[in-house]
Every structure is written in C-alpha cells, then in structure tokens.
Amino acid sequence: MSSSGTSLSSHAAPFTDTEVQAELRSLTRKFAENEIRPIVEADEESGTFRPEIIAKLGSLGLTGIPVPEAYGGAGLGYAEYAVVIEELARVSCAYAISVAVTGLPQMILASAGTEEQKKRFIPRLSSGEAIGAFSLSEASSGSDAGSLRTTAKRDGEHYVLNGTKLWTTQADSAETLLLMARTGGLGASGVSAFIVEKGMPGMTMGKRERKMGLHISHTMEVLLENVRVPVENRVGAEGEGFKVAMTALNGGRITIAATGVGVARAALEVAVKHSKEREQFGQPIAEFQGISFLIAEMQTEIDAADLLVRRAAALRDAEKPFAVEASMAKLFATDTAMRVATDCVQILGGSGYTQDFPVERYMREAKILQIVEGTNQIQKVIIARSLTK
C-alpha cells in the first residue's frame, strides 16, 4: 500500500493510549478474540445471549470501569471505559452494548442513589454477577421520552407501577432495571426513576423484538401490572427521574460513540486485508485509486471519531460540562461507523454482501448506533441548541 511499507492496519491502535488504557485495550482484545470471536457469528444467527460472558468480563474488572472502587468498580474514567467498549465492539457490538447498558444503572446510582442503594445494587453490577437494564422508551415516547405514560402511584411505603415499556435492552436477563415512570403531571417534570428488581410480582416480559441485527442483544417489551416497588427503590427525588435519566444518557453517548469506533475499525481491518488479497485486472484491488482513497478517508474519519470520543471522555473525567461534546462524538462516530461499514461491504464486492465475511453484520450493527441513546437527529438538535439558544 505505502512506499514506506507501513500497513494501514498498524495505525489501528490510537497513539494517545496511556499505559493503563493500553493494558485495558490488550486485556479486552485478548478476551474478545478468545472468548467472543469463536461464538459470535453462530450466536448472532441464533440470538443467543450468554450472561457468562458478562460474568467473565466482570471477573477481569471490565464491567464497572468508571464506578468508584468503594462500590466494586475500577475507579477509572470514561476514557478507559471507552477503550474497553471499543475493543468489545470490534468483535461484538452486542456485548459492547450489553456492558454499556449494565453501566447505566451503575452510573445513575453512583451519582443520584442513596448510600444504601449504592451498597445494595452497584457491586453485583460492577462485578458482572448481575446484569442491568435501562428502561425509558415506550411505544408513544421515543425521542420525546419525557411524555412517557407508565404510571407510578404512591400507596403507603410503595409505588404501584402500571404500563408497558418498549425496547428495553436485555430486560429478560437483568436483575436490576432502572425504570422511568410518571409520578406527577404531564411532561418531563412528572417523571421519577425506580429500581425494579427481577422477580417483583407483576413484572413480566412481553414480546422480544425481531430486528435487522444485534440479535445477541435481546430488545424486550416489559409489562408492568400493579408492580409494588418499595419507596426506598426510588432513585432521586420525585419528579427528578427524567433529569437522572438524561445525565446517564450523556455518559451513555460516549459509550455508543466508542462502540461506533470499534465497529468501524473492525470493518476497515477486513476491507484492508481483502483489498490486498483480491486481484482484478491483474492487480490487487488496493492498487486502484478508487479503493485506496476510500481506505484513506475511512482511516482518517475513524481516527477523528476516536479523538471526539477522547475529548468528551476527558471533559467528563475532569468533571467539566461534556453533554454537547458527547453528542458530537455520538453523532460523528456512529455516522462514521455506518459510512465505513457500508463502504467496506462495497470494497468486498459480492463477498461483502454474503455471510462469509462479517462486514454485512457490521453494517447492520452500525445502523442501530445511529438510533439508540438519542437518534442522530436528536444529537443535532442538542448541538445546534447549544449554539443558538
């Protein structure tokens, strides 16, 4: 490819890794290659989620990276968290999302929970012994999440929850669901956050969505019929649930952006290898400028996305405002993942469209990243509003 003999894939590890980040990258990559790579294609086909993968990641200390050590976490930052998520996504977008989603209740409880809630719920999540879920969306409230309809009515020392949540990732295997319901009037200020625990009478799983991809990750309807949740399971004050949820999603956007970087890197690795091996018209297709320029653009965009992720993470770790930067990282990294995965399918030609290569899976996985944790249109609304309001 290049006159210096340097292959593009040798640039895959970002030069800005600290020693700790490099160690985490290597540990996560080894685990993902040895334990997830061999089963990922078959499990995507059958829709099999393996909680033991999360437990093993937990035993390596990888499921509670940004959580304080006092609650069983690693006490590191979002910069380190992003490295772990990116490396998981390079092999399986579903397990990257699983770890990120299990992280949401941990981060919410760490910032808005009582001491008792922190001690009771975080350690099992940060150790990977338990799986977490984040349940905000409903059929009539996606982007407009503040208009949710599930109700939580106070009855003595309990709240009684009724309604139907939609699209809750891994609710079927979760022990701890951070769930938003309406305790007050219309709008976001009427929403409160609750910890709903597996086995609470009245909570059942509805349909499991049939999706374009990400089959390992189960997307569940959650039915709530007179579920009695103790008052001590409310997180934050009454009416603060939407704020609590949005704060968590700001951090979550960094992890979704990192997932995009991981998926894009994975796709590019396959395309670079293929372009050097596949010959047409008597030469490797990598020697056609139409292909090589595409590869150059993809590598540049992926590194730019990575830098946006690092900036948002650095701001969050320095406890500075980071919401707009997280939206920019999410927007650019996931759009990059979609563009790169689509172009990689093109570089592989007919083979790219078959399941003989993973790039068609990466393309299907990249698509969901543009939708979850706030669609990319909503990220643009947030970014524009910060400039024009």
Ligand X SMILES: Cc1cc2nc3c(=O)[nH]c(=O)nc-3n(C[C@H](O)[C@H](O)[C@H](O)COP(=O)(O)OP(=O)(O)OC[C@H]3O[C@@H](n4cnc5c(N)ncnc54)[C@H](O)[C@@H]3O)c2cc1C
Contact set with ligand X (CB under 6 A): 101, 134-137, 142-143, 167-169, 211, 214, 219, 368, 371-372, 375, 377-378, 381
Beta carbons of 188 and 154 less than 8 angstroms apart = no
In the complex, residue closest to ligand X by CB: 142
CB of 135 to ligand X, least distance (A): 5
Q: What is the 3-state secondary structure (H, E, C) of the chain?
A: CCCCCCCHHHHCCCCCCCHHHHHHHHHHHHHHHHHHHHHHHHHHHHCCCCHHHHHHHHHCCCCCCCCCHHHCCCCCCHHHHHHHHHHHHHHCHHHHHHHHHHHHHHHHHHHHCCHHHHHHHHHHHHCCCCCEEEECCECCECCCHHHCCCEEEEECCEEEEEEEEEEEECCCCCCEEEEEEECCCCCHHHEEEEEEECCCCCEEEEEECCCCCCCCCCEEEEEEEEEEEEHHHEECCCCCHHHHHHHHHHHHHHHHHHHHHHHHHHHHHHHHHHHHHCEECCEEHHHCHHHHHHHHHHHHHHHHHHHHHHHHHHHHHCCCCCHHHHHHHHHHHHHHHHHHHHHHHHHCHHHHHCCCCCHHHHHHHHHHHCCCCCCHHHHHHHHHHHHHC
Q: Name the minimum Å distance from CB 283 to ligand X.
A: 41
For the CB of residue 99, give the shortest distance to ligand X in the complex, in Å: 13
For the bound state, the minimum distance from the C-beta of residue 133 to ligand X, rounded and expressed in Å, comes to 6
- Quick one: 127 or 135, whose CB is closer to ligand X? 135
Nearer to ligand X, 132 or 352 (CB): 132
Please say which residue, 123 or 213, places its beta carbon nearer to ligand X. 213
Q: How far is the CB of 177 from ligand X (least distance, A)?
A: 10
Q: Do the Cβ atoms of 29 and 13 come closer than 8 Å?
A: no
> Closer CB to ligand X, residue 212 or residue 231?
212
Residues paired with 193 in a beta bridge: 180, 235
**Residue number, 209 or 238, with CB nearest to ligand X:** 209
The set of catalytic residues is: 373
We find the least distance from the C-beta atom of residue 387 to ligand X, in angstroms, to be: 16
Task: Return the number of the residue (212 or 237) whose C-beta is nearest ligand X.
Answer: 212
Nearer to ligand X, 12 or 371 (CB): 371
- Output the smallest distance, CB 350 to ligand X, in A: 28
Residues with Cβ < 8 Å from 34, sequence gap 6 or more? Answer: none
Whole-angstrom Cα distance, residue 13 to residue 261? 11
